[in-house]
Amino acid sequence: MLTPEVIKQIQTELQSIFPRSLVLLGGSYLWNETDESSDADFYVVGGDINFWLNRKSKKLKTLKNQFLEINITWCPRVFFIFGWYDIYGQDLIGNIYRSPLNYKINWRNTIKLGYFYCLQALTATTKEEKNKWLKKASKRLAWAQKLNNKEVSITDRIKPYFSFGNLAKTLSNNWSTEEIIEGLNELVKIGDEQLKFSLINYLIYNIKFIVHKDFSFLNSNPDKKIILEMQKLIQSGSITQSAVGLINRVIFPVYIL
């Protein structure tokens, strides 16, 4: 685990690398819910020329090599403003920033992550690793159920969606992988309206992947396609790390630094 001083040091360094972007600390280190398996999650919100010049800088590479347990996600400012990617984070001086709650997109993203974490649990090589991914998947299922049942209150909106504190009443720590998958499958069945074609979703995916000459989503509903692929992979019973890696590459159209 990283100390608060080290977390502050990393965030300060990231802000110096991306001075025109908003660098936020999120996840369990912000929620005070860390354990030995916790990663430190940082968001870089922005996207001007400074970002593109520095995204492969030596300073960033050195920082990532020094702290292997950090995750850095770049989110375009427009994604943040319209709630196309959920962010709850804190800047260097303690201000909290959160993206608006876009029910439809939040539901879709939560379902995608729930399945993805189940895939990670199913391919885990140690009990600790499996429990880590099950914990993450359980939180996604609990939040998706709240969204589906329209149980999101004003209080929920001012808390991190996926914190244990926010999900305490609906979260079961005893869900098995099979129970989580069953719960997600049920939500997908009754939430077909949520998975209808979205022009925003289509454009976001294709803008990212066509640039890299990847036309996988050109004739599809991206979110629905990814969810169906994960369902098929789980049903096949032959899940490999390479298959999970392919899903990881496309699950969100954001840039992992």
Report d(CA 72, CA 23) in Å as an integer.
10
Per the prediction, the chain carries an average pLDDT of 87
Report, as an integer, the average pLDDT of 34-40: 81
In tens, the pLDDT along 1-23 reads 899 999 999 999 999 999 989 99
Tell me what pLDDT residue 230 has: 95
Residue 246 is encoded by which pair of tokens? 């392919």
pLDDT at 244 over 80: yes
Q: How far is CA 205 from the centre of its chain?
A: 15
pTM confidence score: 0.85
Per DSSP bridges, beta strands 88-90 and 255-256 are unpaired
Contact (Cβ atoms closer than 8 angstroms) between residue 147 and residue 110: yes
Write the CATH number of the domain with boundaries 4-98: 3.30.460
Q: Where are the domains of the chain?
A: 4-98, 103-252
pLDDT in tens, 146-158: 888 777 766 666 6
